[in-house]
């Protein structure tokens, strides 16, 4: 039998109904973890066969998130791994951006990370063990070179980068690591809408000329959650084919 790296671990994945979250949940489960998925999209959660638990919830709602994470920690006695994957961008040019677009982007991409991490962290601190992996974006590091009109998204994801580093320091001595991956364009279904010209322009900005593969991204998260990554914390890891160099 092949050894698994996350045997007995209890994981929460946010955005588990989404393109990347589905694959992340599958890879964590394949390594022996029990996975709970949190997402707005109840139907998408139902379709994710890797989930042992699922809670449809708006992650921008602090009280609802406390309740959803509480359901998981009550059922399993705690949580070991948290992947903050919920989020998503919207193209809006700064000079005409509404206040609502700004706050929606910040809420979706940064406040969700606060809410879920705030709800899960006490359980990790109580057991002196935890692995938090946040998903930011190359936009947080390189601005909106892939997509013009990404200021709100880039700012919110840069907030995730700052939160990662500050929290990593705050909880480092208590057995909790906090890391962040910063993906470039991934080969998710949304990319199927690219015209050949758009795809060529995109690849022209990526030194490897490769889109990221969701399975590779998920394996990076498995590694950061595994025992081998015990001394890695506060890292912002671009998975972007060199786009942000
Ligand atoms: N796909 C890419 O190329 C790419 C690149 C860089 C970063 N990212 C980031 O990776 C993460 C996952 O992206 P994806 O491609 O799987 O997107 P996706 O749209 O397929 O999945 C995102 C999921 O988050 C959920 N979500 C959004 N807001 C929510 C809320 N308020 N409450 C609960 N759930 C909510 C959505 O319902 C959806 O299922 C996102 O944070 C995204 O910004 C993706």
Residue nearest to atom 43 of ligand 1 (CA): 88
Distance 15 CA to ligand 1 centre (A): 6
- pLDDT of res. 2: 66
Known catalytic residue at 153: yes
Domain count, the chain: 1
Confidence of residue 66 (pLDDT cuts 50, 70, 90): very high
Distance 86 CA to ligand 1 centre (A): 4
Does residue 2 lie within any of the structural domains? Answer: no
- Active site residue: 73, 86, 89, 153, which one? 153
With 80 as the cut, is the pLDDT of residue 146 above it? no
Distance 157 CA to ligand 1 centre (A): 12
Indicate whether residue 154 lines ligand 1 (CB < 6 A).
no
Mean pLDDT of 131-139: 98
> CA of 149: how far to CAs of 90, 137, 167, in Å?
8, 15, 29
SS3 per residue for 209-234: CCCECHHHHHHHHHHHHCHHHCCCCC
- pLDDT of res. 148: 86
What token pair was written down for 168? 């990593």
Q: Judge contact between 236 and 165, C-beta under 8 A.
A: yes
- pLDDT of res. 156: 98
Mean pLDDT of 100-118: 98
With 70 as the cut, is the pLDDT of residue 233 above it? yes
| Range of weakest confidence among 61-65, 96-100, 162-166, 189-193 | 189-193
As a whole number of angstroms, the distance between CA 92 and CA 89 comes to 9
Does residue 160 lie within any of the structural domains? Answer: yes
Mean pLDDT of 39-66: 98
User: What 3-state DSSP class applies to 186?
Assistant: strand
Mutate to test the pocket of ligand 1, among 55, 87, 112, 181 (most ligand atoms within 8 A of CB): 87
Helix axes 112-127, 151-171, angle to 10 degrees: 10
Mean pLDDT of 38-50: 98
Does residue 51 lie within any of the structural domains? Answer: yes
Does residue 35 lie within any of the structural domains? Answer: yes
Does residue 186 lie within any of the structural domains? Answer: yes
Residue nearest to atom 40 of ligand 1 (CA): 87
Residue nearest to atom 7 of ligand 1 (CA): 137
- pLDDT of res. 211: 97
More confident residue, 3 or 176: 176
Express as a percent the part of the chain with pLDDT over 90: 96
CATH of the domain at 93: 3.40.50.720
Mean pLDDT of 50-78: 98
What token pair was written down for 120? 């899960």
- pLDDT of res. 3: 77
Which structural domain, as residue segments, surrounds residue 133?
10-239
Q: Up-side HSE of residue 68: CA atoms within 13 Å toward CB? A: 26
Q: Are strands 53-56 and 81-84 parallel, antiparallel or unpaired?
A: unpaired
Residue nearest to atom 18 of ligand 1 (CA): 18
Mutate to test the pocket of ligand 1, among 13, 14, 15 (most ligand atoms within 8 A of CB): 15
With 80 as the cut, is the pLDDT of residue 1 above it? no
Confidence of residue 197 (pLDDT cuts 50, 70, 90): very high
Distance 85 CA to ligand 1 centre (A): 6
Residue-averaged pLDDT of the chain: 96
Does residue 5 lie within any of the structural domains? Answer: no
Does residue 244 lie within any of the structural domains? Answer: no
Residue nearest to atom 41 of ligand 1 (CA): 87
Distance 135 CA to ligand 1 centre (A): 9
Does residue 1 lie within any of the structural domains? Answer: no
């Amino acid at each position: 039998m092949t050894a698994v790296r996350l045997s007995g671990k209890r994981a929460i994945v946010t955005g588990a109904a989404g393109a990347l979250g589905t694959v992340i949940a599958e890879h964590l489960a394949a390594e022996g973890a029990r996975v709970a998925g949190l997402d707005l999209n109840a139907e998408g959660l139902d379709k994710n066969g890797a989930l042992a638990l699922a809670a449809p919830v708006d992650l921008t709602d602090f009280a609802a998130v406390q309740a959803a994470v509480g359901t998981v920690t009550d059922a399993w006695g705690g949580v070991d791994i948290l992947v903050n994957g919920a989020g998503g961008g919207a193209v809006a040019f700064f000079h005409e951006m509404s206040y609502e677009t700004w706050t929606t982007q910040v809420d979706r991409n940064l406040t969700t990370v606060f809410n879920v991490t705030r709800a899960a962290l006490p359980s990790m601190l109580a057991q002196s063990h935890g692995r938090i992996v946040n998903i930011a974006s190359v936009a947080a590091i390189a601005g909106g070179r892939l997509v013009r009109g990404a200021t709100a998204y880039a700012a919110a994801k840069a907030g995730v980068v700052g939160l990662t580093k500050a929290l990593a320091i705050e909880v480092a001595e208590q057995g909790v690591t906090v890391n962040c991956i910063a993906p470039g364009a991934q080969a998710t279904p949304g990319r199927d809408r690219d015209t050949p010209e758009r795809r060529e322009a995109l690849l022209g900005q990526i030194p490897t000329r490769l889109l990221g593969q969701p399975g590779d991204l998920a394996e990076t998260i498995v590694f950061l959650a595994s025992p081998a990554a015990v001394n890695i914390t506060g890292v912002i890891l671009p998975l972007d084919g060199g786009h942000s160099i």
